[in-house]
A and B are shown apart, each in its own frame.
Chain A
Amino acid sequence: MNVLLDYLPEFRDGFLGTLAITVSSALLALVLGVLIAGFRVSPIPPLRAFGTAWVTVLRNTPLTLLFLVAFFVVPQILFQGASPFVLATLALGFYTSSFVCEAVRSGINTVPMGQAEAARSLGMTFSQTLRMIVLPQATRTVLPPLSSIFIALTKNSAIAGAFSFGELFNVSKLLNDKGYAIAWIFLWIALAYLVITFAISGLFRLLERRMGVAR
């Protein structure tokens, strides 16, 4: 019980660390995921193959292995001296981007063909069709899976702590080393994660209501 009050600054830093890594890798995953989804639905075979390979490899690799790559191979081969924050963001963002890609792709798939056909027969150009007809409808379908993906991302960020990035899991390790009862630490950390995941699902519920249209 006391552990929270005694180590409030550590808990706060850990919470902010988890928040920061979650937000930054969510942004990276969103950008990359939409880009790769674009590759996967494009009429250009090499880009499609690249997208498929990306998704297959990243979705079937354990995240811990990606962290290993990010923290031990990337600094050695590509850029020296990248901060743990950047490396953790890269690992989490790349991993999650494959899930975002699949969500976006299936979202585009759920838009009925007739919508795009109607748009084309009205004389809309490709970009108009995409911007005004297909994407707005796809976005609505994609929101619920995206919300689960980002909740998963939040929980996955705990692995960053194991690679000595300062976030909630890291705090729990630290405090356990100081001899506090693991049960209390566990409870407080669980609560902290609940706060973040509830915020995400609340945000997405808000978005869904905002964008909801009877179909």
Chain B
Amino acid sequence: MSNASVLYDVPGPKAKARNRVYTVVGALAVLALIAFVVLRLSAKGQLEPEVWNIFNNAGVRTNIRDGVLTTLQVFAVAAVLSLVLGVLLAVARLSDHKPVRWLATGFIELFRAVPLLITIYALWVILLSNRESLGLADSQPQFWALVIGLTVYNGSVQAEVLRAGINSVPKGQREAAYALGMRKTQVMTTVLIPQAVRAMLPTIISQLVVTLKDTSLGYIITFEELLFTARQMSTNIIVNGNDTYVPVIIVTGAIYVAMCLALSALANWIEARGRRAKTGIGVTAAGEPVAATDALDTADAAPGGPLAAKD
């Protein structure tokens, strides 16, 4: 169903003519907006060739590359750890033992409710002040604060995603497994989790996009990832008496957008592939990477996507 057709009929000759007028007006409006921004930038001397020449400097390129690598490094460690934590928490939340269930629920609710930045900041303070006793004297406390913060937050969200996936596996699967004489652990690890992961893969990857974006919070605790590097470069490199925020931010932003789009493309590809394969359990629509956060409703998202379920 295309969007357009809900709102209006296939246009007739009159509407077509009107739409053509709107198209021209709309194009002019968008162009005017772009022109305004470009004019402002050039009035401030931000479009001079010298300003953009900084990227020909080997040092600048090395800095950006190092920033990207650090960001990817944090992302990789945090992604793996958060997925492991997510599985553990999801299983704990579905446990038959009440205390385990409560503990997992409390953990998930607490860390999902607190802004990630505050978690990371608190971890940073704790790690800094206990650096010696934790044996972190020569490693970067920022790195671990960032990784652990990302892990507990995204792990909690992933746990809810996985739990929804496990709950979406048809009951017969579990019953059949028990009937075959499998034990609880076996049922979980060999029957339920693989199917849950498969069904939820697009949502899991969308949440990884959020993890990737949130690595930029490292900027605030002075961890030298891409954004922090960008900030430092733009303050330090002065061209024609101006700092170089505009070019550096445009380039850095493009890098972030490219990385996130690549990851989202993977999620969409998996979703499309899952839709083609006509096996038992549906694959969720690639969930929207919900803001630096929340996915509070992801938990309720049955396979088929949150919106399909409501239709």
Contact = CB atoms under 8 A, between A and B. Distances in A.
Interface of A: 40-41, 43-47, 49-50, 56-57, 59-65, 68-69, 72-73, 76-78, 95-96, 99, 102-103, 105-106, 108-113, 115-116, 120, 126, 129-130, 134, 141, 144-145, 147-149, 151-159, 161-162, 168-169, 172-173, 176, 182-183, 185-186, 189-190, 193-194, 197, 201
Contact of B297 (A78, A106, A148): A148
B106 interface: no
Interface of B: 1, 3-9, 11, 19, 22-23, 26-27, 29-30, 40-41, 44, 46, 110, 113-119, 121-122, 125-126, 209, 213-217, 219-220, 227, 230-231, 234, 245-246, 249, 252-253, 256-257, 260-261, 264, 288-297, 306-307, 310-311
Contacts of B257: 56-57, 60-61
A173 B1 contact: no
A115 to B, nearest CB: 8
Given A108-B7, A152-B294, A169-B118, 11 more contacts: A43-B4, A63-B291, A64-B227, A65-B216, A99-B290, A108-B3, A134-B6, A148-B294, A169-B121, A172-B118, A190-B118
Majority SS of interface residues in chain B? helix
B216 A64 contact: yes
A46 B310 contact: no
B217 A64 contact: yes
Given A57-B257, A60-B260, A77-B46, A126 B227 contact: no
A156 B114 contact: no
A68 B22 CA distance: 35
Most central of A47, A60, A151, A158 by chain B CB within 10 Å: A60
A4 B230 CA distance: 37
B125 to A, nearest CB: 4
